[in-house]
Structure 1
Amino acid sequence: MPRILGVDIPANKKLEYSLRYIYGIGPTRSKTILAETGIDPDMRAKDLNEEQINAIMSKIQDLQFVVEGDLRRELTANMKRLQAINSYRGLRHRRGLPVRGQRTKTNARTRKGKVKTQGSLRK
């Protein structure tokens, strides 16, 4: 199992797909990295040698992609900033509600959590 930027990428998947396991690298960035390093995207991750792994890591740093811990830190800092200035988006984050204008009368279960039925209690 090759390790790139502190992440174990799956060995038996094609390289194009296994690079996506790195937080901050999606389909487009994965293709870009492999095209610029000249590595075959259909190659399996377990077949990489040290030289190719180093080439991938250096290309990610050359292209200045923000990935893994730095990206997570940046996103949490953005959320904390929004919450600190009491913006509408910050309040929605704080309350655990949808942030981008989705309806909440129905749906929104991913953000709101499991249904908590409320009603009057009978004696």
Structure 2
Amino acid sequence: MRLRHRGCELSGGEQQMLAIARALLGQPRVLLLDEPCEGLAPDLAVRVRELISGLAADGLTVLLIEQQIHHAIEIADRVAVLEYGRVVYDRPTIEARADPAPLAAMLSVAAVPPPPAARPNPRLWADTP
């Protein structure tokens, strides 16, 4: 039972969900989330993304700032890329999924990357020429 635990005694994912719950107490029309899964264990990040998807499905407008494009595309209805404060890409997610090349080029990646679990360990590749 976590009822008696203070916020600082919760795991990172639990703290993130608590922060979202506190934001929802004010019954906002828009919820702004800046990289809500940053630093979380993969299983907790999945739970937070599911929570965000559920909130959006329930009709809450969610503005999600996310550097991990594959996570944003899982959740978003629309994808926008800002460069130095200017919108340089703005499309419905269905278009971004159907033709990921322009988005990938804009983000300087070969393709929209797979989820982290499917990627090789970056430390193994860091010193490779």
TM-score (norm 2): 0.27
Structure having greater relative contact order (Cα 8 Å, sep ≥ 6): 1
Q: Which has the higher strand share?
A: 2
* TM-score for both structures, normalised by structure 1: 0.28
Larger Rg over CA atoms: 1
